[in-house]
Amino acid sequence: MTRHSPDAAASIEARHAPLQELGRSANRVCMLAADNPAHCLKYRLPGAKLDANRIEWKAWQWLRQRVGADELQDRFARVIGPERTVHGEALRCAVIRDRDGGIARSLYVHLYDADFATPHSAAALCVAVADFERFLLQRKLPLFDLNAGNFVVVDEGDGPRLVCVDAKSLCVSKEILPLSRWIAPLGKRKLRRRAARLRARIGSALAPRAAST
């Protein structure tokens, strides 16, 4: 994958100027695709340590071999594939939208963005985490990076549903010896721990709101 020049990020933003940026981190920026509002394009940012697009593409292919498209549909944003664009190499993915057509916001925004008031209670979001956790355990999927930025929240009318928009952790491990990937009970324990930690974060992020209502 091509490395962007130092001002590549500025170029990506300028050329996509009328378009929406969906999110970014130290590694990537995610923009709505100019040619298709159902798609987004993830670009590697200058100075990124990880080739996140390559890892996410590999993780998605692995996932698709293990789980059918029908089952994945409500749980993971579909990755369409890498492509060369005028702004550089990108990874094209399906955009997750709410029932009203709006772009689903990340769980991170629901918890921490002062300009956004989540319509969901901490309890309802925790139920959505538990539901996702059950799915991962049943399918034995080692998705350990359960952080709020890697999920978007879809409003189902009768409650929120989480969709994973970043499956990289299926393929990368921060452990030197990735024992939790090799030994099933360790993997299960780790998943349960990570899901509990995410629920605890939801509880503490939304606690001030609950106290003031």
Ligand X SMILES: Nc1ncnc2c1ncn2[C@@H]1O[C@H](COP(=O)(O)OP(=O)(O)OP(=O)(O)O)[C@@H](O)[C@H]1O
Residue where the block lists tokens 């956790």: 133
Binders in 154-183 for Mg ion, by CB under 5 A: 166
Q: Print the binding letters for residues 174-213 with ligand X: x by CB under 6 A, - otherwise.
A: ----------------------------------------
Closer Cβ to Mg ion, 33 or 146, answer by number? 146
State the maximum Cα–Cα separation within the chain, in Å, rounded to a whole number. 50
Question: What length does the chain have?
Answer: 213
Percent helix, percent strand, percent coil in the chain, to nearest 5: 40, 20, 40
The one among 28, 92, 194, 199 contacting ligand X by CB under 6 A: 28
**Position 146, amino acid:** L
Half-sphere exposure for 175 (CA within 13 Å, toward CB): 15
Q: Which range, of 29-37, 38-46, 128-136, 143-151, touches Mg ion by CB under 5 A?
A: 143-151
Contact assessment for residue 14 and residue 29, using Cβ atoms and an 8 Å cutoff: no
Show the tokens assigned to 213.
């209502």
Q: Is 24 in the site for ligand X (CB under 6 A)?
A: yes
Q: Is 129 in the site for ligand X (CB under 6 A)?
A: no
Q: Is 154 in the site for ligand X (CB under 6 A)?
A: no
Q: Is 166 in the site for ligand X (CB under 6 A)?
A: yes
Show the tokens assigned to 92.
């094209």
The one among 9, 33, 40, 126 contacting ligand X by CB under 6 A: 40
Contact assessment for residue 72 and residue 65, using Cβ atoms and an 8 Å cutoff: no
Binding site for ligand X (CB under 6 A): 22-28, 30, 40, 42, 50, 52, 77, 93-96, 103-104, 106, 108, 149-150, 152, 165-166
